[in-house]
Amino acid sequence: MAQWLMKAEPEDYSWDRLLADGETEWTGVRNHQAAANLRAMKLGDPVFFYRSVVEPAIVGVITVSAESYPDPGDPSGKFVRVKVKPRQRANTEVPLKAIKADARFADLALVRQSRLSVMPVGDAHWRILCAMAGLAP
């Protein structure tokens, strides 16, 4: 099972809105690398929900509830969506500042490719970030 991180701008879609909705389609991805990551996601894969722009931080874990399918909002047919459900709110938010300050994350995509909105998270990084967030890996 792979692990992932997906970014959301709070004014577009927040953790609290996901909790209220119970499930959502992850839409609007228009970067080819991020779309390839969406295509690679499997049912049940865990994903960090990352709040970007305003106080950027990992705020919880979500789960892939439907694998990729064509994005009907994309007339080119190149991009896809997935569905996700909330799993657990972080006991402690993990701010981007803390991640960037920790040398163990020098090769994490969040640090290396800061503009990528959907990215894989390796096993070691996943365990460390879960510990920082007070979550079970």
Q: What is the mean pLDDT of residues 115-131?
A: 97
State whether residue 26 is helix, strand or coil. strand
CB atoms within 10 A of CB 99: 21
Q: Are 129 and 48 in contact (CB under 8 A)?
A: yes
Range scoring the smallest mean pLDDT among 48-52, 73-77, 98-102? 73-77
Supply the pLDDT for residue 42.
Answer: 98
State whether residue 76 is helix, strand or coil. coil
CATH of the domain at 29: 3.10.590.10
Q: φ, ψ for residue 103 (rounded to 5)?
A: -60, -25
Check whether 89 has a pLDDT greater than 90. Answer: yes
Check whether 93 has a pLDDT greater than 90. Answer: yes
Q: What is the mean pLDDT of residues 37-66?
A: 97
Q: Which domain holds residue 39?
A: 3-133
Tell me the pLDDT band of 46, cut-offs 50, 70 and 90: very high
What is the C-alpha to C-alpha distance for residues 49 and 64, in angstroms, rounded to an integer? 11
Q: What is the number of structural domains in the chain?
A: 1
CB hemisphere CA count around 105 (13 angstroms): 22
Supply the pLDDT for residue 105.
Answer: 98
Check whether 64 has a pLDDT greater than 90. Answer: yes
Tell me the pLDDT band of 11, cut-offs 50, 70 and 90: confident
